[in-house]
Structure 1
């Protein structure tokens, strides 16, 4: 298949979708995927990435369509994934139907055993003939209509009864791209003017947060390579201000990779910051990001649940506990999450979060503050977790954020979904 063809883009996308269905996280597989296809021009790589993310966002829709179009489930993972990619493309670009079918059949002819080429052709042509009937049937099924697992839909409806439709709808959209200006290397106004001059128009969401009107490749952004700006969601950027860091403080970012929140705190304050992460590769990313920005911190690899392995015994004035979670608030940015998460995963994450909180609390100096952060939408990881922790610790005082004891950001056009709670240790 020519490297610049739609067939090649569909083949690459099908490989990625098949890996996710096998249980692999998309982020872990993309680097190896691109390495396996070094001849892809940027246009084909971009087309493949759009197909990958679009197909994964359509969780449940592909299942429902194939259930109606196939007599029995496919046992060939790549062909199953190829059909999902093609069906997604037919829905979003119906004017390209002839090309999509033709190119999908070409892929099947190259990568599958005999007979599956004809099957792919028949399934896609039946999808075109039954388009209206399929659309009506899919609209009646919550999983296919909302493009989420049933258990996820039920939890959001229960926990967000007034806004559940907007929350689920937002998770199926393309995420915004927001930049964080580094005040140690430029000023917000100067950087915005340079961005606009280069065609990257946008608007301010916060003092250092410039939301682009249109996402753009990082390499095309003036100021990125020399550390004058970073890419960071506006919701994530709000953590630095909430933690109330001041110059001279000793600060711990306990689950720091890839280092955006740690870097933001150092950009704003002359603090002594320890950036910790349990994964050596992710810890290396923290160091690389800080180097690009011209910032310095003590970067270590260690498990936040085992301080004896990395703590020097000196208390911290501030702790950022951006704990591992279901990531349900960033599903549009990581659409494989909807395929990979299971309902009982939420309890497992809650257990890890509790262990981290219990391990970090003794490290906080009296009068110090800890900001608990997740990118989850589920109370078990958020409000219930914090309430139970505060009830167990008499020296824990909850500090209001905007007159409320916690802040929940639901995903919308300007930011992803986040939860914040600020805890102060009484002397």
Structure 2
């Protein structure tokens, strides 16, 4: 890592540029990059870094357009980090309330953090040129730039899949996501928790279709949620909350949550059926820790193991399940507004590879479902290759599989949930 944030005199703009560098040049997810670079910051500084980095990922083509327009040649090699520092400065000028002189000054000072003092003049010059020319540059971007703020391969795919809805999908992807809560009804009803929120100055809207779902009118930090540490409430998107309801878990049943990390759906299953025998499996040992943390906070019990969904014979030990939730690894194209780095980390070629993996897991886990049992196939994707086409193929090739009800494809919505897909299958 080029920049260490442990110093008391850290420069927040330099930290932001390090995060963006790690995502775009190293392929690290934004969530992981933020953890690595902000773990020593106080809550206020961490929130600012998150705001800037998420914002840059949302509008990346616009910021890139401005920098390319203002520079004769790009910064490369060991100086590449300064390119991302320029991004931070320009993003602040365009999208934050930080005074222009402070945006320029703090960004220029960030050069010192990377021991690139010879480039201070360049950074200062580019930012001041942007201040003079920003109105003209904005017009040029609107005329010539990538105003969808999405990669071309993705635009092509969703235009094909959703010819009448693709623009709305793009528009919603470019917005900040709503904050949804799932109320643990072993403790509170949604109405009672809404009242508790209001007592803490937090207003919300109850979902008319889901008895556990509340949407905050304005997102807040988790530590501001009353009784969060006591397990009364979980942050979970509305669309994701449908998984456990579709699965319809019952007490005493053997239930498998496959690809379960970080455990939001595992805990929801147990909130609905506290006496179910739940096995939560995920291939990522680090993310498995999150499952255990969530179970502990909510005071729920499940068996949690590290395992490969492609090779259930290695961990299932011949056991069969009454219900299986397969939250298949996917492109995550339904949660772009929540994770905007997906737009720049995902590649068109990834989709076919993910589809192969999903189908392999689905086929291999099917034999571990009891006759008469239920499997819910889920993804946070909006691409048919990962969703409806997978289920169509599986039904054609699997004689004992029956679709219980029509498949569900949620698209990202301003006042509702993220993009999710569900198919509920029975073994006959």
> How far does residue 141 in structure 1 lie from its aligned partner after superposition?
4.1
SS of 1:329 mapped into structure 2: coil
Query: Are 1:8 and 1:44, in contact at CA under 8 Å, matched by a contact in 2?
Result: no
Question: Which residue is 1:168 aligned to?
Answer: 170
Q: Distance in 1 between matches of 2:365 and 2:145?
A: 41
Q: Distance in 1 between matches of 2:190 and 2:100?
A: 46
> How far does residue 179 in structure 1 lie from its aligned partner after superposition?
1.0
The count of aligned residue pairs is 417
Does residue 1:53 correspond to 2:50, yes or no? no
The CA RMSD measured in Å over matched residues stands at 1.9
SS of 1:246 mapped into structure 2: coil
Matched ranges for 1:160-199 at <5 A: 160-199=162-201
Return 5+ residue gaps in structure 2 as ranges: none
> How far does residue 94 in structure 1 lie from its aligned partner after superposition?
6.7
Within the candidate set 19, 30, 40, 2:22 is matched to 19
Task: Compare 125-134 and 8-17 and name the one that shifted more.
Answer: 125-134
CA displacement, residues 154-196 of structure 1 (integer Å, 9 cap, x when unaligned)? 2122211111111111111111111111122333332221111
Does residue 1:344 correspond to 2:344, yes or no? no
Does residue 1:132 correspond to 2:135, yes or no? yes
Question: Which residue is 1:319 aligned to?
Answer: 324
Does residue 1:242 correspond to 2:246, yes or no? yes
> How far does residue 110 in structure 1 lie from its aligned partner after superposition?
3.9
CA displacement, residues 237-294 of structure 1 (integer Å, 9 cap, x when unaligned)? 0111112222322111011111111111110113211111111121121111111111
Matched ranges for 1:2-401 at <5 A: 8-22=11-25, 23-35=27-39, 38=40, 40-75=41-76, 76-93=79-96, 96-141=99-144, 143=146, 145-205=147-207, 206-269=210-273, 270-400=275-405
Q: Distance in 2 between matches of 1:29 and 1:267?
A: 32
SS of 2:60 mapped into structure 1: coil
Q: Distance in 1 between matches of 2:253 and 2:143?
A: 56
SS of 2:422 mapped into structure 1: strand
Return closer, same or farther for 1:2/1:406 CA change in 2, 3 Å cut-off: closer
Query: Are 1:257 and 1:282, in contact at CA under 8 Å, matched by a contact in 2?
Result: yes
Return 5+ residue gaps in structure 1 as ranges: none
Q: Distance in 2 between matches of 1:254 and 1:94?
A: 44
> How far does residue 98 in structure 1 lie from its aligned partner after superposition?
2.0
> How far does residue 112 in structure 1 lie from its aligned partner after superposition?
4.2
SS of 2:231 mapped into structure 1: coil
Q: Normalising by the residue count of structure 2, what TM-score does the alignment of the two structures yield?
A: 0.93
Q: Distance in 1 between matches of 2:116 and 2:95?
A: 29
